[in-house]
Amino acid sequence: MDSKHIRNFSIIAHIDHGKSTLADRILEMTGTVSKREMQDQILDSLDLERERGITIKLNAVELHYRAKDGEDYIFHLIDTPGHVDFSYEVSRSLAACDGAILVVDATQGIEAQTLANVYLALDNDLEILPVINKIDLPNADPDRVKKEIEDVIGLDCSDIPLISAKTGEGVDDVLEGIVKRLPAPSGDPKAPLKALIFDSYYDAYRGVVASICIKEGSLRVGDEVEFMQTKKRYEVVELGIKNPKEVKREVLEFGEVGYVACSIKSIRDVEVGDTITNVASPASEPLAGYRKMNPMVYCGLYPTDNARYNDLRDALEKLQLNDSSLTYEAETSKALGFGFRLGFLGLLHMEVIEERLEREYNLELIATAPSVVYHVHKTDGTILEIDNPALMPDSTMIEYIEEPYVKASIMVPNEYIGAIMELSQNKRGIYKDMQYIDDNRNQLIYEMPLSEVIFEYFDKLKSVSKGYASLDYELIGYRKSDLVKMDILINSEVVDALSVIVHRDFAYKRGQAITVKLKELLPRQQFEIPIQAAINKKIIARTNIKSLRKNVLAKCYGGDITRKKKLLEKQKEGKKRMKAVGSVSIPQEAFMAVLSMDDDD
């Protein structure tokens, strides 16, 4: 088909504004998926994605549409992950598109991720088709939202589709809008091949399957190709498109979106953002925008039962087959035994992996508090990258430490500005700017350490703003900070897995908060347990867990046996979820407590 009849686009939205529902409706209304086959939100294929309402793995589908002008069009709908952890992946799938549908909730208006996604789309020179969704809700206010889109983003909303993705109302306007307002792919069909990789997954029979968009030239089965960033060469074994079932093709032409398989064994060899070209007549330059993805957040993961170390390793191997952004290596903790240090793109990524390990692989795990990567400049001039606080060198050997900073954009109704500012200051945020969005809302810009953002910041933001604040952030580089390692001693022994890097000015307060929190979380034992926080072996905070005095069933007669035995079994289950460190049992929550900044509750 003539490339003028192709439209490659994504749907972008803030979480819960109805992106997946609109995708479903479009699939249904273009006859791609029949109503009967329709499983709600078909593009979100992982169970976890559907449960959490987020998209983690990408999908691209080909749709056929006959427009009102009588012409036939091919749409490629490219799904994007809906979370800030995956912003690079979002940017690459946007780069595969020429346009984007921007979905804004008629009851909520523009949110932080709406803007972040719009900026990503504009960075990639996409045309944007705004639509206002959820107009069927009683509190919908499309006029206000229309004005917001015009004022804040500067998009023309004169004939904006007002839709309900849920009921299908107005969705035909969206389909027409795609044809009329979004451009066809631009590029040279005769030029040397440039295919953009925007996603990949591992298939046991075909090896790595890459999702691609042909930006220039064409690709044929049997071609010898080069991946321009990794410099690796392969022969094309299989090509195809998805509708959403896979349909094999001999050739993918300019403007098409599909998949390619070249018997590649490791997902690491297929990098999102890489460009595939033809060895016979190679392109001179790869496509712009490629970046190597580096984990931002690390944590240690240990089986509560040491005997299951090998099971954990096998599970990680399997997960990594499909997740090139997950890294892990073996690590040993004095307190926790043998485990792994895992690297993640962000906290959500971390939670998803942990949950999958527990759920799909039936593992009981202890995760240490997430840590960022610190740049430690030593007195001897060398630089260490530390992603595990326990490995921080002795303070006498440290010249200074740098930590990653982010620019955080927070959208918030006026009445909560004060609370958000206070929260951000407590998280070592540096106020940068406040932008007016509309009569009610402002966007606050803070620069703050990533380490403070990854833990509890988002939850606190939501709680101090009654759920109204939204957040987006991007990495802006490393900065020098006055950081120290704080050790936690339980029963007079340092528990390495509880060590944490803190800012010196906040150390005393944090030490207090952590020891008090641990006192609440650790179960009492037959003996008294001192809990201490120390910097450079100097104790800065301490408290005691008093010894256990009463844990016995008051009544246990003949008729009580079954019930009381169950009660004991329940206590045992609780204990199994803890890690025995020396003679003390430590529950999972305790490892997270070191990042908690609560000292009030």
**Which tokens sit at 21?**
């529902």
519 in contact with another protein (CB under 8 A): no
544 in contact with another protein (CB under 8 A): no
Give the amino acid at 102. Answer: L
553 in contact with another protein (CB under 8 A): yes
Residue 480, beta-bridge partner list: 402
DSSP letter for each residue of 178-197: HHHHSPPP-S-TTSPPEEEE
Residue 96 CB, nearest distance to another protein (Å)? 52
Residue 414 CB, nearest distance to another protein (Å)? 38
Residue 78, beta-bridge partner list: 10, 60
Q: Which is nearer to another protein, 334 or 566 (CB)?
A: 566
- State the Cα–Cα distance between residues 299 and 220, nearest whole angstrom: 43
Q: Which is nearer to another protein, 152 or 584 (CB)?
A: 584
Of the candidate spans 190-198, 205-213, 443-451, 562-570, the one that interacts with another protein by CB under 8 A turns out to be 562-570
Q: Which is nearer to another protein, 519 or 524 (CB)?
A: 524
φ/ψ (deg, to 5) at 186: -110, 145
575 in contact with another protein (CB under 8 A): yes
The site map against another protein for 246-285 (x = CB under 8 A) is ----------------------------------------
569 in contact with another protein (CB under 8 A): yes
In terms of DSSP H, where are the helices of 455-587? Answer: 457-464, 504-521, 561-576
520 in contact with another protein (CB under 8 A): no
Of the candidate spans 1-9, 373-381, 423-431, 560-568, the one that interacts with another protein by CB under 8 A turns out to be 560-568
* Of positions 556, 566, 582, 599, contacts another protein by CB under 8 A: 556
577 in contact with another protein (CB under 8 A): no
381 in contact with another protein (CB under 8 A): no
Q: Exposure string (b/e) for 24-59, b if CB count within 10 Å is 16 or more? A: bbbbbbbebbeeeeeeebbbbeeebbbebebbbbbb
Determine the straight-line distance between the first and last CA of the chain, rounded to whole angstroms.
64
Helix, coil or strand: residue 50: helix
**Which tokens sit at 520?**
């609440």
DSSP letter for each residue of 500-532: EEEEHHHHHHHHHHHHHHHHHHSPP-SS-EEEE
Residue 595 CB, nearest distance to another protein (Å)? 28
Helix, coil or strand: residue 445: strand
* Of positions 138, 222, 381, 558, contacts another protein by CB under 8 A: 558
Q: Which is nearer to another protein, 139 or 551 (CB)?
A: 551
Question: What is the DSSP secondary structure assignment for residue 448, as one 8-state letter?
Answer: E
* Of positions 564, 580, 588, 589, contacts another protein by CB under 8 A: 564
* Of positions 526, 528, 536, 598, contacts another protein by CB under 8 A: 526
| Bond from prior residue into 189 cis (ω within 30 degrees of 0) | no
561 in contact with another protein (CB under 8 A): yes
Of the candidate spans 119-127, 202-210, 417-425, 557-565, the one that interacts with another protein by CB under 8 A turns out to be 557-565
> How big is the site for another protein, counted in residues (CB under 8 A)?
24
Residue 579 CB, nearest distance to another protein (Å)? 15
Q: Which is nearer to another protein, 322 or 525 (CB)?
A: 525
CA 553 to chain CA mean position, Å: 46
- State the Cα–Cα distance between residues 250 and 45, nearest whole angstrom: 27
Residue 558 CB, nearest distance to another protein (Å)? 4
Q: Exposure string (b/e) for 231-250, b if CB count within 10 Å is 16 or more? A: eeebebebbbbbebeeeebe
* Of positions 232, 242, 462, 524, contacts another protein by CB under 8 A: 524
Of the candidate spans 362-370, 446-454, 479-487, 556-564, the one that interacts with another protein by CB under 8 A turns out to be 556-564
Residue 225, beta-bridge partner list: 234, 278
Binding site for another protein (CB under 8 A): 524, 526, 546, 548-559, 561-562, 564-565, 568-569, 571-572, 575
